[in-house]
Amino acid sequence: MVVVWPFDIPLLFRDGRAQHLTGLCLLKDICRGHLDGGQVGSKEITFYPDVVRSGDYMADAKTAGSVCLVIQLVLPCALFGDGPISLRLLGGTDAAMAPPIDFFKLVFEPVASKFGVHFDCQLKRRGFYPKGGGEVSLTINPIKSLEPVILLERGNVLRVTGCAYVAGVLPFKVARIMAQAARETIQHSYRQLPVNIEAIKEEQHRAMATGSGILIIAETSTGCFLSGSAIGSRGVPAEEVGAKAGQMLVDNLNHGGCVDDYLQDQLVILMALAKGTSKVKCGPITLHTETALQVAKTLTKMEYKITEVSKMEHILEIVGIGLDNKTLS
């Protein structure tokens, strides 16, 4: 299969170009493929993939380019390899405009496991803008095929947990302030909901440079996970960072979906490759999801339908192509 993609829209090598180029080069190595146009400023790339090979691989964005965006690119391919694939990834683990690594571990992973996806992700060191330097190890186990998933009932919210962290020269009280502001924001709308947000100070060897952030997760009785998150930045009060994360979670709870606004687009490729029809109840369909649907349809020829349940609730239905891993006996 030869994949050619013209960049008439700012899809690649514009903002966040480091992680996109790093991800493509890593994918080329894993697939033993050939890549034309893999440089900053490219208007078109041509990718000639071969068989996905197991083994140990390393990728370094050499900036604060998001490790999670690299994982998003590589994971669906690595699932269809001939054995486990171990990755050592360097770059930004907690960056603006990208999922934090804690989201990948605590929100994406439990939902992806419903498709039959299994991996081990270990955060070795946090990396922040502008230096990066974070490190994540990830081992992805191959799969024969992906199972379809039905997520239409959110159930009751059982608990809200989370972590507010600081690293480097920031004092511990900043983490406490973020946690308290998030807690107050959530309980302003959901008074009876138990909220337990831990405040931590990362040890020196566990973070590169100075940074802060917060991730909050609501777990429901039907196994749904919805989140709110924020990254600290210079000049922004800790109260504002915590309140932003808290309000994001409140908004995701209010729309009634089974996944949050940031998870919905990340599930599209798994649904497209699954063997059968998947249905997921979402809030408003995001622009990222619309883009993911168009790209997945172009690459896989899958079919999808969006049903509006209400102004805030939608059901995303995808008939997967049932991709089979022929390298596994």
Buried b (16+ CB within 10 A) or exposed e, 64-87: bbbbbbbbbbbbbbbbbbbebbeb
How many Å apart are CA 216 and CA 183, to the nearest integer?
A: 9
Among candidates 258, 273, 233, which has minimal Cα distance to 309?
A: 258
Was 36 annotated as part of a binding site? no
- Give the containing element (helix H, strand E) for 119: strand 119-127
Contact by Cβ (8 Å): 49, 3: yes
Max distance between CA atoms of the chain, in angstroms, equals 56
Q: What residue type is 85 in one-letter code?
A: I
Was 263 annotated as part of a binding site? yes
Was 165 annotated as part of a binding site? no
Was 294 annotated as part of a binding site? no
85: which 2 tokens?
A: 């694939």
Among candidates 197, 204, 159, 152, which has minimal Cα distance to 178?
A: 197
3-state secondary structure of 137: strand
No. of H helices and E strands in the chain?
Answer: 8, 16
Contact by Cβ (8 Å): 240, 174: no
Decide the pairing of beta strands 195-201 and 157-167: parallel
Among candidates 295, 244, 284, which has minimal Cα distance to 261?
A: 284
Was 264 annotated as part of a binding site? yes
Contact by Cβ (8 Å): 244, 213: no
Contact by Cβ (8 Å): 75, 119: yes
Was 11 annotated as part of a binding site? no
Contact by Cβ (8 Å): 248, 230: yes
Among residues 20, 118, 205, 288, the one annotated as catalytic is: 288
20 is catalytic: no
- Which positions are annotated as active-site residues? 288
Binding site members for ATP = 72, 262-266
Q: Which residues define the annotated binding site?
A: 72, 262-266
